Every structure is written in structure tokens, then in C-alpha cells.
Amino acid sequence: MEKAQEWFNYGIELAKEFGPKLITAILIYIIGSWLIRKLIGTTGRVMSKSKYDESLQKFLLNLVSWALKIFLIIIVVSRLGVDVTTFAALIAAAGLAVGLALQGSLSNFAGGVLIMIFRPYKIGDVIEAQGVLGAVKEIEIFTTKLTTPENKLAIVPNGAMANGNIINYTAEGKIRVDITIGIGYDEDIKQAKDVLLEVLTSNPKVLKDPAPTVNVSNLGESSVDLAVRSFSTPGDYWDVYFATMENCKLALDAAGIEIPYPHAVEIQK
């Protein structure tokens, strides 16, 4: 009983000494977390009204949010009575160990910073990088998220994005639509070119500048291949591609121009 009483008294003394500090630390964490959320939300709305680039806006908000949370944790720990200088030394030592273990993550963070500085792409751009083609959905601190044409979400590390080749289909504001169509050797090439050019010029989504063109690109084994080329905005690419493919076939059929296809050879016995 005496031992239990000693432990009870010891617990009371600890509660008196550390209880107020613990309660204060918890309150600081709760209030600080709420203030950080409010600050990030308000800053985000201000940046949106100021027409900040969406890519830069999300990246900076994520960065500021993490920095403020780390600062809040330091305040909470110091309120518990832990020496801040000792805590900072521990963080530095832990940071070194974690840094060595997570070199890839640090590389991705550096890649994210480089992407924000040099801006090879932004949210909404259609790009091809690291074997992935898609529209940029979000640029985070460590990764870039792409939405593929199949509506799949691709997550690519920023380190690889910053150090690899990137093809940006949106940056120039227009993209060329290439289609190859073959006609028979007996057909009138000039007539076929006129028919196909009419298909291109009649499509309102085909840009007038640069002007669409139709040229002989190859003399194949069974066909004269025509390169049907036009320009569209990146957002209209697939609409123009599919419409051109279908309308060229219909227009050639209407003009009586043959599109060659392989014929089965029947062997007489």
C-alpha cells in the first residue's frame, strides 16, 4: 500500500508539473493547425483571384503548408519543455539519416523546384514524358499527375520529369494532324488531292494558318500514298483526326477514286 501511495503521489506531482504544459501544447497544436488551414485557404483564394498560374499556386501552397506544420511542431515540442537547440540538432541528425535513405525523394523534390522555375509544362498541358502521354492534372512537390487519353491516372516522379525528355503538345498552341491515305496507281492524283483538300478546308476545326496540305509521300507497292496534313488546337486534335479519316474515305468513294486493299489470290486446281 505504501508503494502504491508513493506512485500515486509521484503521478500527482508529474501531473502538476507537466499537465499544464501538455494541455497548453495540445491547445497550441489544435489552434495552430486550424490557423494553418485558414491561412492556406485564404492564400489560395487570393492567388486564384490574382490569376496566379494554377501549377505554381498548388506547388507553393503545398510547400508553405509543410513549412508551417514543421514550425508548429517545433513550437509544440518546445512548449513541452524540450530544448529547441537540442531538438534542432536531433532534427538535423535525423534529417541527414532520412536524406541518405530517401535520396530519390530529395531528387524528386529538387525536380519539382526545377519544374516550377523553368516551366516546361503547366496544368492542362498535354505532354509526353517517361513513356506516358497525357494531360497534366497536378504538379505536386514530389510527383506530377497526368490523365491519359484512356482516362487513367499516371503518377510520374518529378526527378525523372526534370531530367528526362519532355514533348509538350500544347505549348505552341497548335498541333499537326498527320494522316496517310493511299489511292490506286490508275487514279488521277490531282483530282484526289483536290478532293482531300476540300475535306480539310471544310472542317471548321481545321486551322487556316498554317494551311492544310495534301502531297504525295510515297510510291508503294500497290498504292500512291498521300500525306494529308492539317493543323488544329491541341484540344481538337482527336476530333479533327477521326473526322478527317472518315470524311476522306466518304469523299473518295463519292468521287469514284479507289483506295487499294489486299486481294486474296485464289489458286486454281
Quick one: pLDDT at residue 263? 54
Residue linked to cell 523534390: 109
pLDDT value of position 195: 96
- Residue of 189, 211, 196 whose CA lies nearest to 245: 196
Check residue 124 and give left, alpha or beta (phi > 0: left; psi -120 to 50: alpha): left
Q: What is the structure's pLDDT at 176?
A: 94
Cβ atoms within 10 Å of 174's Cβ, excluding its own = 15
Q: Chain-centre distance of CA 6, in angstroms?
A: 62
**Is-contact 228 181, C-beta < 8 A?**
yes
Cα–Cα distance for residue pair 251/255, rounded to 1 Å: 6
**pLDDT of res. 100:** 46
Helix or strand run (H / E) with residue 169: none
| Letter string b/e over residues 116-152, b meaning 16 or more CB atoms within 10 A of that residue's CB | beeebbbbebbbebbeeebbbebbebbbbbbeeeeee
pLDDT of residue 48: 73
Element housing 166 (H / E): strand 166-168
99 vs 87: CA distance, rounded Å: 17
Rounded Cα–Cα distance for residues 253 and 123 (Å): 43
3-state DSSP assignment of residue 232: strand
Query: Peptide bond preceding 210: is omega within 30 degrees of 0, i.e. cis?
Result: yes
The dihedral built from the CA positions of residue 100, 105, 106 and 111, taken in this order, carries a sign that is: positive
Bridge-based pairing state of the strands 166-168 and 153-157? unpaired
Angle at alpha carbon of residue 266, lines to 264 and 269, rounded to 5°: 165
All residues at 6 or more sequence positions from 65 whose CB lies less than 8 Å from its CB, including other chains: 36, 40
Mean pLDDT by groups of 10 residues along the chain of 269 residues: 63 66 82 86 77 69 80 79 64 57 69 86 92 91 90 93 93 93 94 96 95 94 94 92 95 93 55
Between 237-254 and 189-201, two packed helices, what is the crossing angle to 10 degrees? 140
Nearest CA-CA partner of 140 in 165, 116, 168, 174? 116
Query: Do the Cβ atoms of 140 and 112 come closer than 8 Å?
Result: yes
Instruction: Quote the CA–CA distance of 170 and 124 in Å, as a whole number.
Output: 9
**Residue 57 pairs with which residues in a beta bridge?**
none
